Structure 1
């Protein structure tokens, strides 16, 4: 067993180690409490989570592409129908649209 100044230094080192461990535990508890409170606040504000936003954005982009493909297909079918019947349709006389 240590005696004198070495024992005091050993006890002080042990005390500081324990204090650091306790401070780390308090830090984790504060972070957990803060995250929980932040989530509750965001949920009451009806804020969308990033994953949900990205999924909706991808769905909108796919729908936009599909609408463009369908519009082009309709114009082609109208032109073909007009050609077969000899009629003039608005799509056949319209100027080509600029693509975005």
Structure 2
């Protein structure tokens, strides 16, 4: 009985060590994949979200200004025809 306990203890230690190694491999793989993705994104020269949002806001404001100017032009043209 004592011999089988030693076998099971040894088997348990081996399995714990294997689980630790597997976890280390998983973490290393995650690190490699993350660095590759970051390098790929950096190479793609993507726009930052803050820059995109700022530009979108500027375009929206300019669109509203253009609409207001068009209305002014239309009212001026309408006033010129009335003369």
| Structure 2: 5+ residue stretches without partners | 79-83
| Structure 1: 5+ residue stretches without partners | 79-88, 95-100
Distance in 1 of aligned mates of 2:40 and 2:53: 27
Aligned length: 77
Q: Which runs of 4+ in 1 moved over 6 A?
A: none
**Displacement of 1:75 after TM fit?**
5.7
Distance in 2 of aligned mates of 1:69 and 1:41: 38
Higher fraction of helix: 2
TM-score (norm 1): 0.58
CA spacing shift, 1:61–1:41, aligned 2, 3 Å: closer
Task: Determine whether 1:92 maps to 2:73.
Answer: no
CA spacing shift, 1:17–1:92, aligned 2, 3 Å: same
Q: Quick one: higher RCO (CA 8 Å, sep 6+), 1 or 2?
A: 1
TM-score (norm 2): 0.67
Q: What is the root-mean-square deviation in Å for CA atoms of aligned residues? A: 2.7
